[in-house]
Amino acid sequence: MNGTRITEAARAGFDACLAAADEDAAIDLAVGLVASGVSAEDVLLRLVAPAQLKVGELWASGEWTVAQEHAATHVSSRTVDEVASAARATARPPAGSGAQGRVLVACSDGEWHVLPARILTEVLRLRGFDVRSLGGSVPPDGILSDVHRNGPDVVALSCTLPWNLPLAYRQIETCRWAGVPVIAGGSGFGPAGAWAYALGADLYAADARDAAEALLHRWPPVLRGESSVGADAVEAYAMLVRQRPALLEYLASALRDVCPGLGGSSGTEQEEGTGFLGRLLDSLAAAVFVDDERVFTRHLAFVRTYLAARSADSRCLLAMTDALAGRLNESPRALDKLSAGRRFLTGQEDGSGSRG
Out of 29, 119, 290, 323, which residue is the one contacting ligand B12 (CB under 6 A)? Answer: 119
Say if CB 255 and CB 299 are below 8 A apart. no
Say if CB 164 and CB 108 are below 8 A apart. yes
Told to check if 183 binds ligand B12 by CB under 6 A, we report: yes
Out of 40, 184, 251, 259, which residue is the one contacting ligand B12 (CB under 6 A)? Answer: 184
- What's the min distance (Å) between Cβ of 95 and ligand B12? 25
Out of 33, 34, 80, 117, which residue is the one contacting ligand B12 (CB under 6 A)? Answer: 117
DSSP-derived letter for residue 43 is I
Of 114 and 338, the one with the shorter C-beta distance to ligand B12 is: 114
Told to check if 300 binds ligand B12 by CB under 6 A, we report: no
Residues 6+ apart with CB under 8 A from 53: none
Cα(161)–Cα(187) distance, integer angstroms: 7
For residue 109, which of 334, 333, 298, 286 has the smallest C-alpha distance?
A: 286
- Residue 84 vs residues 29, 44, 116, 131, 135: alpha-carbon distances, Å: 14, 9, 14, 13, 17
Out of 18, 143, 154, 205, which residue is the one contacting ligand B12 (CB under 6 A)? Answer: 205
Of 166 and 235, the one with the shorter C-beta distance to ligand B12 is: 166
Told to check if 42 binds ligand B12 by CB under 6 A, we report: no
Cα(184)–Cα(170) distance, integer angstroms: 13
Told to check if 211 binds ligand B12 by CB under 6 A, we report: yes
Task: Output the CA torsion sign for 244, 246, 252, 258.
Answer: negative
The residue nearest ligand B12 at its CB is 185
Told to check if 201 binds ligand B12 by CB under 6 A, we report: no
Q: Give residue 248's identity as a one-letter amino acid code.
A: L
Of 31 and 155, the one with the shorter C-beta distance to ligand B12 is: 155
Of 95 and 311, the one with the shorter C-beta distance to ligand B12 is: 311
Cα(111)–Cα(234) distance, integer angstroms: 21
Told to check if 34 binds ligand B12 by CB under 6 A, we report: no
Told to check if 302 binds ligand B12 by CB under 6 A, we report: yes
- H/E segment holding residue 255: none
- SS3 category, 101: strand
Out of 166, 185, 341, 351, which residue is the one contacting ligand B12 (CB under 6 A)? Answer: 185
Total number of residues that touch ligand B12 (CB under 6 A): 40
Binding site for ligand B12 (CB under 6 A): 45, 49, 52-53, 55-57, 59-60, 69-70, 73, 77, 110-117, 119-120, 156-158, 160-162, 183-187, 205, 207-208, 211, 299, 302
